[in-house]
Structures are given as structure tokens and as C-alpha cells.
Amino acid sequence: MVTTYLNADLHCHSVVSDGTLTPEALAARAKANGVELWALTDHDEIGGQQRAAAAASALGLPYLSGVEISVSFAGKTVHIVGLGFDAEDAQLQRGLRATRGGRTQRAMEMSEQLARVGIADAYQGALEFVGNPELISRTHFARFLVERGSCRDTNEVFRKYLTEGKPGYVEHRWAALKDAVTWITQAQGVAVIAHPARYGFSANAEYALFSEFKAHGGRGVEVVTGSHSVAEALRYADTAREFGLAASRGSDFHSPEESRTDLGTLPLLSDALTPVWELVHERIQRPTH
Ligand code: AMP
Ligand code: MN
Ligand code: MN
Ligand code: MN
């Protein structure tokens, strides 16, 4: 069955990146919340895919492989979600390994900068929150700063310390847009622009992002996401139609304590859109029993 009226949740994070739940716990939570098609999309990492797919299968939950790749574009970090790819693909695995590569160095630089504003040993502190040593992220620093009482919650940490111009922010060069889209597509997956409203691009830069993404073989955009307001979802539904892109839906759930949007609780996609799962329906891993 392929339809717009599907409680698909194709964006969330486990302890394999910066989520706080295991792939198994996420699968159970998705199932309990009525999700009908699920994907785990850890940042720059597919090490949780087998566990997620196995847990989904045991629960009778259809599954698409997933990842969220960090990309540098027009001076900002853009996220490209990949869905339905072959997780054994060597080029994709190499590309993701290279993308993860600079994270430890960046984390040490963040730690040095934070030390200058009186926050000592942040690297060691953040490591306490890391589930995967290859994937230390700003989120882990945020959790450490909340724990030591520097801020009330992780949003406040990002606002005061971890975003552009703030003391703990370190500029970083991620994957190229063309490379990320190519790795996903050549592995039989579909590439999707994640939460476009989050980037704060000018109209021109956003047009360039969508046009270049399409030219490289990208085919989808997140319309209904935990990162979009209702107005933004409507706006990007129009953008999807203008660019001839399919639409995706995902909570971007990270943690029961931190995430505003739980798995499977967003509004459905409008039936005026082509759901992205139509493009990869043959890649859906369906439970066999
Ligand atoms: P990184 O890949 O290390 O740069 O970390 C990016 C992650 O930080 C995102 O995937 C979000 O989970 C989290 N994040 C980014 N901005 C914010 C924010 N303003 N508030 C809370 N979390 C954020
Ligand atoms: Mn994240
Ligand atoms: Mn993202
Ligand atoms: Mn995400």
C-alpha cells in the first residue's frame, strides 16, 4: 500500500548519533505511537541500521534505511536525508566515514574555546554523553552544559554557546552537496533536503540549494517536520511542487526529555503532494510474518 495517508516517520536519531534512545527503543516507541513506516536517520552514520531494521521487523513495522548527512552549502550547514539506500554500499560508507572524520578535532577546538569563557573540560564532559565515539556532536556538549548548570536546557546552550558567533562555535567543513546526493542515489536511495526552513537562507541562496540539489539527482524535501511551523509546512509544500520534488515527513525526534515532537505525531502530508516513499516503495523492508 502506497499512499499519502500514511503515518510515516522518516527522521529521528538514536544513541548511534545524538539521540538518547537505542534503535530498539525507538522502534518500540514508533510502533506504540502508530507509525506505519519508519526510518532511523542518524547523523553521518549508518551503524544503527541493522539494529533498527531488525527491531522494526520483529514489531511488524515496515522500515526504510536512513541517514542524515551534514553538508556545507553557501556558508551554512545543510542536512540531506537519505532513505531506502543499500547500507552495504561501499561508496556511501566511505563518504560517511570521511564526513564523520573531522568531528573529534572540532570537538577539541570547541572545548578550548569554551575553556576561555570559564567552562573547563567540556570535551571530557561531552564524551560522557556520547554513545558512538566517532560521532561527538554539539548536542553532547549541550547536554554537558545543562548537567553542569551553565544553562537550563539544551536550546539555551545552543543560543548562548554553540551557534555562529557564540564562544563555543567552531566553523566546520562538511561534505559537498553533490557528493552527499551522489552517495545516496548511487546506493539506490533517495536524497531529501531536511527541514529547509531551519537554514535561514536568502531567497537566492535557497533557490540555488533547491536547483543544485535537483541537478545532482536529489528528489525530495521534508515538508512536514518537527522543525517546521504549520505555515512553513505549507510554504515548503508549494516549494516541493514548484521544483517537482516529492515530500517527506519526519519528527526529527532525539529524546523524550528534549524533543517537542514525538515519533508519529505530526499532521499527515497533504494529498496534493507526492510522498517520498512512493519513489522508494520497492526498498521498504517489510516484516515477513
Ligand atoms: P552537529 O552535527 O554536531 O553540528 O550538531 C547538530 C545537532 O545539534 C542538530 O542535529 C540538532 O540535534 C542539534 N541542534 C542544532 N541546533 C539546535 C538548537 N538551536 N537547539 C537544540 N538543538 C540544536
Ligand atoms: Mn541532531
Ligand atoms: Mn538536521
Ligand atoms: Mn535530524
Question: What nine digits make up the cell of 67?
Answer: 541517514
Ligand 4 centre from 289 Cα, in Å? 31
Quote the CA–CA distance of 37 and 183 in Å, as a whole number: 23
SS3 percent helix, strand, coil of the chain, rounded to 5, is 40, 15, 45
Among 158, 161, 198, 259, which is best to mutate for testing ligand 1, by the most ligand atoms less than 8 A from CB? 158
> Given ligand 1 and candidates 14, 104, 132, 139, which is best to mutate, with the most ligand atoms within 8 Å of its CB?
139
Burial class (CB in 10 A: 0-12, 13-18, 19+), 30: buried
pLDDT at 289: 65
Q: What is the pLDDT of residues 218-268, one digit of tens each?
A: 999 999 999 999 999 999 999 999 999 999 999 999 999 999 999 999 999
* 57 CB burial (10 A radius; 0-12, 13-18, 19+): middle
Taking CA atoms, 198 is separated from 195, 236, 260, 288, in Å, by 6, 12, 15, 38
In a 13 Å sphere around the CA of 69, the CA atoms on its Cβ side amount to 32
Grid cell for residue 253: 525526534
Question: ∠250-172-23 over CA atoms, to 5°?
Answer: 35
Q: Which atom of ligand 1 is nearest to the CA of 138?
A: 3
8-99+173-283 topology per CATH: TIM Barrel (3.20.20)
End-to-end CA distance of the chain: 17
Which of 1-15, 21-35, 74-88 shows the lowest mean pLDDT across its residues?
1-15
- Residue 112, C-beta contacts closer than 8 angstroms, at least 6 positions apart: none
CATH match for 103-162 among 3.40.50.10860, 1.10.150.650, 1.20.1090.10, 3.40.1360.10:
1.10.150.650
Residues 32-83 pLDDT 10s: 999 999 999 999 999 999 999 999 999 999 999 999 999 999 999 999 999 9
196 within 8 A of 221, measured Cβ to Cβ: yes
What gap in Å lies between CA 172 and CA 21, rounded to an integer?
27
Q: Whose CA is nearest to atom 4 of ligand 1?
A: 138
Domain ranges of the chain: 8-99+173-283, 103-162
Residue 2 has pLDDT above 70, yes or no: no
What pLDDT is recorded for position 11? Answer: 99
Residue that the C-alpha cell 524533543 belongs to: 259
* 100 three-class SS: helix
Cα 80 to ligand 2 centroid, rounded to whole Å: 12
Residue 115 alpha carbon to ligand 4 centre in Å: 28
Residues 6 or more apart whose CB falls under 8 angstroms from that of 126 comprise 107, 111, 136, 140, 141, 143, 144
pLDDT tens column, 116-140: 999 999 999 999 999 999 999 999 9
Angstrom distance (rounded) from CA 112 to CA 11: 32
Question: In 3D, which of 92, 67, 84 has the Cα closest to residue 278?
Answer: 84
Cα distance between residue 272 and residue 96, in whole Å: 34
pTM for this prediction: 0.98
- Which residues does a 6 A CB cutoff place in the pocket of ligand 1? 18, 43, 70, 137-139, 154-155, 158, 254
Q: Give the integer Cα–Cα distance in Å for 122 and 143.
A: 10
Query: Ligand 3 centroid to 64 CA: how many Å?
Result: 18
Q: Which of 137, 155, 174, 258 to mutate to test the pocket of ligand 1 (most atoms within 8 A of CB)?
A: 137
77 CA: nearest ligand 1 atom: 4
pLDDT of residue 234: 98
How much distance in Å is there from the Cα of 220 to the middle of ligand 1? 22
Distance 12 CA to ligand 4 centre (A): 6
12 CA to centre of ligand 2 in angstroms:
8
